[in-house]
Every structure is written in C-alpha cells, then in structure tokens.
Amino acid sequence: MRIAMDAAGRVVIPKAVRDGLRLAPGQPLEVLARDGHIEISPAPTAMELVEVDGVQVAVPAVELPPLTDDVVRTTLEQTRR
C-alpha cells in the first residue's frame, strides 16, 4: 500500500490499517526512524502495580475498553498468520 506525505509532513494511516490494528482517533503513537525506515506503532499503555489480595497486579493508568471474545479471537487469528 502506497501513501503520500503532504507539504506539512503529515501522512494518513489508511482506514483498513487503522481498523485492523484497532487504532482510535487521538490514540498516542510512537514514531521511530530505524535502518532507513519509519516505524509507527501504538504507544505502550502506562501501568501501575497495585496489590490485590496480597498479589501484585498491573493496572492500566487509563481506562481501557473491555476485552471481548471478538477482540481475543481477532488477535489470535492475526498472530497465527
């Protein structure tokens, strides 16, 4: 898939790619220049360690959408390709 950068240096991530990666408007992304390539990836979610019933549990610092069966199924299918 080929896209173009505009005069201001902006690129649009095609809808099919955004949907496939479940990217949402306003979602933080990381941009890296590596070996002559540009890599764009979702920024990691900040986590806090909280003790629950004597066990350390990683809790996201921001509220995340619920993890549904469909999300799990789609993720498994994508990783098995």
pLDDT in tens, 3-59: 999 999 999 999 999 988 889 899 899 999 999 999 999 999 899 999 999 999 999
User: Residue 25 domain-assigned?
Assistant: yes
Total domains in the chain come to: 1
User: Residue 4 domain-assigned?
Assistant: no
Average pLDDT over residues 67-76: 89
User: Residue 22 domain-assigned?
Assistant: yes
pLDDT at 16: 92
Whole-angstrom distance, CA of residue 20 vs CA of residue 31: 19
User: Residue 19 domain-assigned?
Assistant: yes
Residue span of the structural domain in which 52 resides: 15-79
User: Residue 5 domain-assigned?
Assistant: no
User: Residue 68 domain-assigned?
Assistant: yes
Residue 76 has pLDDT above 80, yes or no: yes
Residue 81 has pLDDT above 80, yes or no: no
User: Residue 10 domain-assigned?
Assistant: no
* Residue 70 vs residues 44, 60, 61, 80: alpha-carbon distances, Å: 22, 21, 24, 15
Whole-angstrom distance, CA of residue 12 vs CA of residue 7: 13
User: Residue 56 domain-assigned?
Assistant: yes
